[in-house]
Amino acid sequence: MNYYQNKTIWITGASSGIGEALVADLIAQGANIIISARREAELQRVFSENGADANRMLVLPLDVGMHEKLHDAARTAIDWKGRLDILINNAGISQRAFVHDTNLDIEKRLFDINYFGTVELTRAVLPHMMKNRSGHIVVMSSVLGKMSVPMRSTYCSTKHALHGYFDALRAEIHQLGIHVTLVCPGYIKTEVSINAFKADGSKHATLDASQAKGMMPEVFSKKMLKKVAARREEFYVGGIEIFAVLMKRLFPWLVSRVVRRISPVIRRFKTS
């Protein structure tokens, strides 16, 4: 039997991109899935395109930035099948803005979704997993959870912070048989750059070239699910960009110089 068969799995950010690809693969592998995101119409589309079987899928619209609603949502998710085996914290928003343009409200909104949304949803399901003495928390970080690049200062910070938090949680709950996996994608061809916040909180609305050339989410999903099933603690999936993390560990000064040279701040001030 495969790792996911008959398991109940909750995926946030299931209305597009990586989350949507995970839904298709997990349904094919015999899991029962709770799908969450803000756009209910998109969740209904994902539900229809994956068999529309209410025994196998529960549509649970949710804004992970509304922290006061997460515990009620967790109760609904757990009550559906009477248990929750895996939580995939995938919902997230990226950023395309310079530090000097960005105000504190936008910084807080990114942290509310990417960091506190993930932390609080995990805390909402944790007592259930601790009682069962089993479970698996999966967290969608990024290569940018290990290194930082221009115009993503807050996004990188939210993803770096997830590593600090979930490495500690892993150590706390290891003895209870609950696993924690941090997933670090490179460039995946989704709408992440289109949905990214600009300095004023509006959408970047552009499919960046690096994203357009990225790995297809359907390819990413299969690679990711294999490594999650192997209970890997942390791993990277993507193209050549994932080697930047190793380079940073071995030659931090070199990566720092490369990142500096590509800084769009320099280009902006040279041209303005």
Ligand X SMILES: NC(=O)c1ccc[n+]([C@@H]2O[C@H](COP(=O)([O-])OP(=O)(O)OC[C@H]3O[C@@H](n4cnc5c(N)ncnc54)[C@H](OP(=O)(O)O)[C@@H]3O)[C@@H](O)[C@H]2O)c1
Which among 34-42, 48-56, 174-182, 240-248 is the span making contact with ligand X, rule CB under 6 A? 34-42
CB-nearer residue toward ligand X: 149 or 176: 149
Cα dihedral 81, 86, 89, 91 sign: negative
Is there a catalytic annotation at residue 115? no
CB-nearer residue toward ligand X: 29 or 195: 195
94-133 residues near ligand X, rule: CB under 6 A: 94, 113
Under the criterion CB under 6 A, does residue 65 sit at the interface with ligand X?
Answer: yes
Q: What is the chain's Cα-based Rg?
A: 18
Under the criterion CB under 6 A, does residue 63 sit at the interface with ligand X?
Answer: yes
Under the criterion CB under 6 A, does residue 37 sit at the interface with ligand X?
Answer: yes
Q: In angstroms, what is the minimal distance from the CB of 104 to ligand X?
A: 18
Q: In angstroms, what is the minimal distance from the CB of 92 to ligand X?
A: 2
Segment 219-227 long-range contacts (CB within 8 Å, at least 24 positions apart): 220/18, 220/21, 220/185, 220/188, 221/18, 221/21, 221/22, 221/24, 221/25, 222/25, 224/18, 224/22, 224/183, 224/185, 225/4, 225/22, 225/25, 225/26, 225/29, 227/181, 227/183
Contacts of 217 (CB under 8 A, 6+ apart): 17, 18, 20, 21, 188, 189, 190
Under the criterion CB under 6 A, does residue 23 sit at the interface with ligand X?
Answer: no
Under the criterion CB under 6 A, does residue 154 sit at the interface with ligand X?
Answer: no
CB-nearer residue toward ligand X: 39 or 260: 39
Q: Find the catalytic residue in 155, 165, 187, 236.
A: 155
CA pair distance 138, 228, nearest whole angstrom: 8
Residue with the two structure tokens 């995946």: 188
Instruction: Pull the structure tokens for residue 174.
Output: 């290891």
The correct pick among 67, 148, 191, 235 for binding ligand X (CB under 6 A) is 191
Which among 59-67, 126-134, 221-229, 262-270 is the span making contact with ligand X, rule CB under 6 A? 59-67
Given a contact cutoff of 8 angstroms between Cβ atoms, the answer to whether 259 and 250 are in contact is: no
- Residues forming the active site: 155
Residues found near ligand X in the complex (CB under 6 A): 12-19, 37-39, 42, 62-65, 90-94, 113, 140, 142, 185, 187-188, 190-192, 195, 211, 214
